[in-house]
Structure 1
Amino acid sequence: METVRTIDLLLDAFGRIPPLLADAVRGLDRAALLWRPEVDGRQGNSIGWLAWHLARQEDTQVAALVGGEEVWRAGGWHARSGVPYDEAAMGYGMTTDEVGRFDVTDGEVLIAYYDAVHARTVEVIARMSDADLARIVDRSWDPPVTAAVRLVSVVDDAAQHVGQAAYLRGLLGGPEAD
């Protein structure tokens, strides 16, 4: 019987995000990327903002996990994307007005940024040992958070946000949402 490695499960989980993100974003014009549904008088997040945020949260947390620089900063993605926020912004705790300020040059830059983040994530995970995965990275929780648990949280967050983006793409209807 072959043993399943934790690293392989993490790589599989993270590997599911890029094609889903590309399907949710690719081919949308600026108006579709920035469209925000309204429910009970409150506007939600746009596809573009969700794509940016899921990439930023993964980038930030994986960089912190290994004590390295974010792809966002190292690759000049802030300037390339045209996102109007401070370079350190990642979307956590933003108000609906702050989300409404989101803008981006086009969807392809969001896909390319996430692809770069994903490549870094795969590189980091592939180098990890069981001891690396068991390392405590946050003692403020009970039980303390290990690197493995943090990575599961990161991929869970990415999967939820890409699902939200795909749902919004479906709400847009029309041929561009196929």
Structure 2
Amino acid sequence: MVPSNYNSTLGCGLIDFMSLNNFSQFNNIPNSDGRYLDLIMSNFPGVDVSEPLELLSRLDCKHPNLLVTLQKTNFQPKKRTDHNFYRANYEEIASDLECIDWVERFSSCSNANEMVTKFYDELRLIIDRSVPKRRPSKSKNHKWFSRTLIKLLSEKNKLRNRYRKYGNPRDKFEHDLLRSRCHKLIDKCYSDKY
């Protein structure tokens, strides 16, 4: 089912949204007016829309009951990688950018949007070649933790480990003080964020 209403801004907006997210519309069951009001959109194949044999709710002629069936797929989430710009080869990036004949590259473009798209495509290729990738490290801390709080928690853990190892009462006293400060700072960081 391909949308075809290009005459209204709302229709164009829906079509742009579907294109941007690689969505397809799967509902091919019209209502009593011959229109498709209930859209079933997905960006993966294997969606089947049919009329159910048994009704779960009362029948509405403007919104017919639909049975949506999804094929079982073994979906494996992509392992996310980030570019490690600290180890990038910036000389190579600069050299690659200087070698590009931008006038020639943009000559086939009819507007500024196409030029921007072409520029970003070239830039992505250069970055993929010159910047190594890494797996992002999983942080044990919440996103709302401040740097000060993270440092304080680290100090508190060091004191706890030192007290366990040597049994010095002074380490226990300092640990308890830091723990109290950590609790107050956690409350402050949380309330600042939320």
User: TM-score category by the smaller chain?
Assistant: under 0.3
When Rg is computed on C-alpha atoms for both structures, the one with the higher figure is 2
| TM-score using structure 2 length | 0.22
| TM-score using structure 1 length | 0.24
Bigger helix share: 1
Structure number with greater CO (CA < 8 Å, separation at least 6) is 1
